[in-house]
């Protein structure tokens, strides 16, 4: 047996995109729409689904980090800022379009 290494809590939750109505299949890590990159304000800490807000989160910017993309989302209801790691199936053009945008008060990485 070799079960060392971090244990992730994976929650596979499907939801319908609040922005473009794309049915999003949850992977346990990704909680944003692969088409328009909008998300939902459902987490306090990533993956915990503890936020009661439930507002739509607009992708307002993107950063290059490590070998991937980090999307910055802002909740349109409460203004909460959050970073989300981009997913492999995200729309590439939508992600690239976010680069170069000014990101107000970038939230710290978790
Ligand atoms: Zn969408
Ligand atoms: Zn919110």
Q: Which pLDDT tens digit goes with each residue over 3-36?
A: 565 565 555 678 789 899 999 877 666 679 999 9
Tell me how far the alpha carbon of residue 32 lies from the centroid of ligand 1, in angstroms.
8
Instruction: List the shell of residues around ion ligand 1, using CB closer than 5 Å.
Output: 17, 19-20, 22, 33, 35-36, 38
Q: What ligand has the least distance to the C-alpha of 78?
A: 2
Count the Cβ atoms, other than its own, within 10 Å of residue 32: 23
Model-wide pTM > 0.85? no
Ligand 2 center from residue 5 Cα (angstroms): 32
């Amino acid at each position: 047996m070799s079960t060392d290494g971090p244990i992730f809590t994976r929650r596979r939750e499907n939801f319908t995109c609040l922005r473009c109505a794309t049915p999003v299949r949850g992977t346990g890590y990704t909680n944003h729409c692969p088409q328009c990159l909008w998300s939902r304000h459902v987490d306090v800490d990533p993956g915990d689904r503890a936020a009661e807000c439930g507002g739509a989160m607009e992708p307002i910017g993107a950063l290059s980090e490590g070998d991937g993309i980090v999307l910055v989302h802002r909740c349109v209801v409460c203004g909460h800022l959050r970073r989300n790691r981009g997913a492999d199936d995200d729309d590439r053009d939508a992600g690239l379009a976010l680069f170069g945008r000014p990101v107000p008060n970038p939230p710290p990485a978790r």
